[in-house]
Amino acid sequence: MRSTKIVATIGPASRDPDVLERMVGAGMDVARLNFAHGSADEHAETVRRVRAAAEAAGREVAVLQDIPGPKLRLGPVAGELTLLETGSHLVLTPEQVEGDATRLPVAWPGFAELVGDGDVVYLADGAIRLRVRQVRNPDVEVEVEVGGAVASRQGLNLPNVTMSLPAVSDEDLRMIDAGVEMGVDLMALSFIRRGDDLRPVRERLAAHGSDIPVIAKIEKPQAAANAEEVVEAADGIMVARGDLGIELPIEQVPLVQKRLLHVAGQKAKPCITATQMLESMVSSTRPTRAEVADVANAIFDGTDAVMLSQETAIGRDPPGAVEMMAAIARATEDELPYWRLLTERGLRGGDDPASIAFGAVGAVYQLGLKVLVCPTQTGKTARLISSHRPQVPTLALSPRIEVVRRCSIYWGVCALRMDEPHDTTELLAACEHAAVEAGLCSSGDKIGITAGLPAGVAGGTNLFKVQQVA
């Protein structure tokens, strides 16, 4: 069983039902919907298609809604894509026009006030570089120093320019409403700077009576500097290296990534590592050796999930990219220092569920347990166990299908829906039966079971049982 989870972005190349089924079969655990592109109706239809593909494959796949957040972006581009030639000139304008290679709309009315002659503007995660030649408010004339293809709603980066954009816009809140309505399982918020930036999202979800986990995307220097605070406030983080590599000196990005993964591991919060992991597979059938090493190193550093972006959104072979990612993960996991990870990661002190999770994973190595089984109302116990990186599978059992899907982001956790018996003996027997049926153990094996007494109470894990399978 592969433990590292795979997040795959759904786009024009992967939205077809047949392609989605093949991606699920290849190992996609989480389908990411980028709400910077497309309409709510299109995303709702994609959610339905992902659910159908998962049902056909016989397993659950989580849907991650990626909310754009406060970022300068282009407006619409004719044909959704245009090519900027190196050496050419174009105008960036706040006017609501359809963009082309000579004129691109910027969705921010005060853009001309942010830049001056000689400033650099980056597009496409830094792949395209523009130089400001003249500011003619409200327009900005630029020269294309490094060209390439740009798409509708693509982001702009202005290094060293501080902007007072709201943490969550009205449009973001409307997207949250739409995400709740279409039944997404996870939400990621872009460009947060501090823990308090997540508060409006929490309040909006609470108004819907929803407890959807919120993932903080770390792509601003302020967020990286406030890592402890942001990780504490979020349900998980995403290291979004594209914008980090523009906003920070690029040589600092690997160090920031390692520190963020360490902080997330210490606080038992799941982490996704994203951007250009297998970028060459957008057009090639194989990744570069450097890309393979990048994925492996993220896993060694403690990431829960690795993410595919353009590779599956617009790439030539989305299922092939997922399959390659899965192969790299399996090979890397064979060499992980599991005992060291147990002692270096996870929560410490004072919390009954956290202490039981630590002891359960330790028992794996001391007693040769084949699987850890954890009935859970919220997924918390599964998350705590996952943070210690057990070398055996963790089977989470929950009566809530949304919790089953959320577990798709946790390292080493497979989840099934099961109504929880209120009798302790019946609960232990049901856990053993589920593990056998899932093919995770057989007669004579020892397994570990966590539980909470009384049964059915969220956050009440207070029991660990070693049980021999009949």
Catalytic residue among 129, 193, 204, 217: 217
pLDDT digits (tens, 9 = 90+) for 438-457: 999 999 999 999 998 776 66
Helix extents (H) in 58-198: 170-182
Please state, in angstroms and rounded to a whole number, the distance separating the CA atoms of residues 26 and 24.
5
Domain at 5-68+167-333, CATH from 2.60.40.3080, 1.10.357.10, 3.20.20.60, 3.40.640.10: 3.20.20.60
Which residues, 6 or more positions from 358, have their beta carbon under 8 angstroms from its beta carbon? Answer: 342, 346, 388
**What's the confidence (pLDDT) of residue 277?**
96
The third-level CATH classification (topology) of the domain covering 339-468 is: Pyruvate Kinase; Chain: A, domain 1 (3.40.1380)
Residue 220: exposure state from Cβ atoms within 10 A (0-12, 13-18, ≥19): buried
Q: Known catalytic residue: 73? A: yes
**What's the confidence (pLDDT) of residue 161?**
67
- The CATH number given to 78-157 is 2.40.33.10
Q: What is the pTM of this model?
A: 0.90
Catalytic residue among 46, 275, 394, 450: 275
Catalytic residue among 15, 22, 32, 71: 32
SS3 414: strand
Tokens linked to 223: 């967020």
Catalytic residue among 2, 51, 59, 73: 73
Q: Known catalytic residue: 217? A: yes
**What's the confidence (pLDDT) of residue 293?**
98
Closest CA to 197 of 218, 212, 177, 179: 218
Phi-psi label, residue 153: left if phi above 0, alpha if psi -120 to 50, beta otherwise: left
The domain spans of the chain are: 5-68+167-333, 78-157, 339-468
Instruction: Enter the DSSP assignment of 36.
Output: T
Tokens linked to 194: 């501090």
Q: Cα-flanking dihedrals φ and ψ of residue 277, to 5°?
A: -70, -40
pLDDT value at 114 more than 80? yes
**What's the confidence (pLDDT) of residue 166?**
73
Please state, in angstroms and rounded to a whole number, the distance separating the CA atoms of residues 316 and 151.
18
Which run of H or E residues covers position 320? Answer: helix 318-333
Closest CA to 413 of 441, 452, 440: 440
**What's the confidence (pLDDT) of residue 191?**
86
Please state, in angstroms and rounded to a whole number, the distance separating the CA atoms of residues 343 and 399.
31
Hey, do 5-68+167-333 and 78-157 end up sharing a CATH topology, with the first three levels equal?
no
pLDDT digits (tens, 9 = 90+) for 76-102: 999 888 999 999 999 999 998 999 999
